[in-house]
Amino acid sequence: MKTNIKLFFAAGLIALTAGCTDLDVTPEAQYTEYPNSEAAVEAQMADVYFHLRGTLGRRYMESQALSSDEWVGISFDGDYADGGIYAQCSLHNFDPTSACIDWYEDVSAGITKANRVIVNMGGEENDATAQARFMRAYYTWILMDCFGDTPILSKLASEGEQIDRAPRAEVARWIESELKAIIDLLPTNVDVSTYGKPTRYAAEALLAKLYINWPVYTASTPGAYDAASYSNEHINDVVTLCDDIIKSGKFSLSEGANGYRSKFFPNNGPQIKDFIYAMPFDAITAQGFQYCRPRIWRQGRNDGDGGPGYFGSDIGNSTGGNFSISPEMSDRLMELASDDRQENILAGQIYMFDPTTYAKTSTPYKYKGQEIVLDKTIRLKYTDADNNAHYIEYGDGIKNTALYPADCSMLNTGKDVKGWSQGYKSVKYFVIREDFINGRNQSNDLPIFRYADILLLKAEAIVRGASATNGQTPQGLFNEIRTYVNAPTLAGAPTLENIYDERGRELFDENWRRNDMIRFGHFEDEYGFHRKGFPTARFDKECRIFPIPKSVLDKNTNWKQNPGY
């Protein structure tokens, strides 16, 4: 986002210094009586609101995207192998030392910061702490969703105090109670002043997400949840929460002439009425957002001869290209006869984009004079005894592990145009040169909760057994989504699988797919190279949560590693 930057960061200049990343901290109130000026409140809260920019801007995304059926983490003859950390996520072969999941302490530090603000403001009895309590609940939800059992850090710990993990179901109930306690205390205005900060509607969206996944979070173990026998005591509560957001009249789907695509442009921000809650980024003053680097074709920075890359300019820094959309997700994204969301997908031949309007042109992109065509099917490269390169395609016909190349664990596709072109790519978070030259950072704000998601959640809840309200049916809610992206509407009521697929299209690359796959019972499916018979792929239900990072266990010696790791 490039507008209204001063609003968010002036306070940050005098905000709290970064909190300790250890879970054990000593509470220190900075004020005997909390200053009640608006500037003082903003100074205390700024660092809490935006603490997770770095985590949400890259590493959290890697764990969510690569463990789902959205993306495959490939490498190029050692280039971007990085010890296999990306491939491990794609194969559910998670490693407690991997950087892709080593952000637990960063999130817990955010909870500590929120707790310090609450203390400095006089405690939870002060209604003004509601926004800090939301951030504490949201950060706790991240840990609970991803790692299962986690501490309930509802206060600052005393020096030397031993912190224990609470059962996941207990954590879910604590988050529920926190959100219910603060919803009526949070602001209801939705404008520039509340953009990137918790409002009533952000809290309702998080609670709706908690409730729709209630059977997942309250199961005796992560593996005990069975999507086929989904039963949810809070299913009607999901509808009630969605209704309050819908009836507020403060959110909408359509976003001007560019529709769906413009929600994710580098200049997105408070004007996007689909965003209920978002994390603001700026390539200079609020860095951390680096989604496009691994999604850009490996040499897409330029044309290889000093000319522009497919973004319409030489974007100034090298690109990764080590994420490719899985063939299964590619089929889903490109399935409908018409769909504005497909304009974000680089499928087949790559064309140039206009660097000012971000619109696709009819001019093919060329690298060193060669037109670049992406192959939906991803093939692994291996070399025979005579040093001849071969490519092997995964599929139902390949079950014998002996047929896979010896170095298949790195998902190597080869370091040439053919290898770089395995799998479709994305321009959903469009890159511009003035951003990317600043450490490959981007100014695209990250949506966390969207109005479109709320419509699909309500439709899902009704299909799962909730009572329909306000004359809205699953078909009508579903078709609101289809209509605004100019996609074919459904003639009848959607099934759960229809909704699951539509969530994959509408919320592609927004860090919700892993969460959805577990709830709908598809996380253990075969997709990408996550295939039975593939040597390093895992299908254990314990993989529904990540291992506790080794660095966290080293500091909390009373904790045990999650089962299965």
Q: Decide if 469 contacts 243 (C-beta within 8 A).
A: yes
The tens digit of pLDDT for each residue in 265-281 reads 999 999 999 999 999 99
pLDDT at 337: 98
Per-residue confidence band for 158, with pLDDT thresholds at 50, 70 and 90: confident
Answer yes or no: is pLDDT of 41 > 70: no
CA distances in angstroms from 135 to 25, 55, 159, 454, listed in the order given: 18, 15, 23, 20
240 alpha carbon, distance to own chain's centre: 25
**Greater confidence, 545 or 39?**
545
Distance in Å from the first CA to the final CA of the chain: 40
Nearest Cα neighbor of 538 from 46, 91, 4, 69 is 91
Please compute the mean of the pLDDT values over residues 361-388 and round it to a whole number. 92
pLDDT at 27: 36
Answer yes or no: is pLDDT of 259 > 70: yes
Please compute the mean of the pLDDT values over residues 330-334 and round it to a whole number. 98
Buried b / exposed e over 473-485, threshold 16 CB at 10 Å, is ebbebbbbbbebb
Answer yes or no: is pLDDT of 450 > 50: yes
Average pLDDT score, the chain: 91
Q: What whole-number percentage of the chain has pLDDT above 70?
A: 90
**Torsion angle in degrees (nearest 10) through CA of 447, 476, 325, 202:** 20
Phi, psi of 405 (to 5 degrees): -65, 155
Determine which of 2-6, 105-109, 293-297, 384-388 has the lowest per-residue pLDDT on average.
2-6
pLDDT at 20: 37
**Greater confidence, 331 or 161?**
331
Residue 447: other Cβ atoms inside 10 A: 23
Please compute the mean of the pLDDT values over residues 322-329 and round it to a whole number. 97
For the record, the structure tokens of 259 come out as 């529709």
Per-residue confidence band for 42, with pLDDT thresholds at 50, 70 and 90: confident
Please calculate the CA angle 33-34-38 and round it to the nearest 5 degrees. Answer: 145
Answer yes or no: is pLDDT of 7 > 50: no
Per-residue confidence band for 61, with pLDDT thresholds at 50, 70 and 90: very high
For the record, the structure tokens of 231 come out as 């039963």
The tens digit of pLDDT for each residue in 475-515 reads 999 999 999 999 999 999 999 999 999 999 999 999 999 99
User: If 0-12 CB within 10 Å is exposed, 13-18 middle and 19+ buried, where does residue 436 land?
Assistant: buried
Answer yes or no: is pLDDT of 29 > 50: no
Per-residue confidence band for 9, with pLDDT thresholds at 50, 70 and 90: very low
Answer yes or no: is pLDDT of 379 > 70: yes
Nearest Cα neighbor of 74 from 391, 409, 356, 401 is 409
Per-residue confidence band for 388, with pLDDT thresholds at 50, 70 and 90: confident
The tens digit of pLDDT for each residue in 391-441 reads 887 654 444 445 555 568 899 999 999 999 999 999 999 999 999 999 999
CA distance 51 to 194: 16
pLDDT at 404: 58
Nearest Cα neighbor of 60 from 565, 510, 521 is 510
The tens digit of pLDDT for each residue in 180-205 reads 999 999 999 999 999 999 999 999 99
CA distance 453 to 190: 18
Residue 323: beta bridge partners?
Answer: 73
pLDDT at 11: 37
CA distances in angstroms from 20 to 16, 25, 123, listed in the order given: 12, 7, 20
Per-residue confidence band for 17, with pLDDT thresholds at 50, 70 and 90: very low
pLDDT at 504: 98
Please compute the mean of the pLDDT values over residues 49-55 and round it to a whole number. 95
Answer yes or no: is pLDDT of 28 > 50: no
pLDDT at 161: 85
Nearest Cα neighbor of 63 from 367, 482, 512 is 512
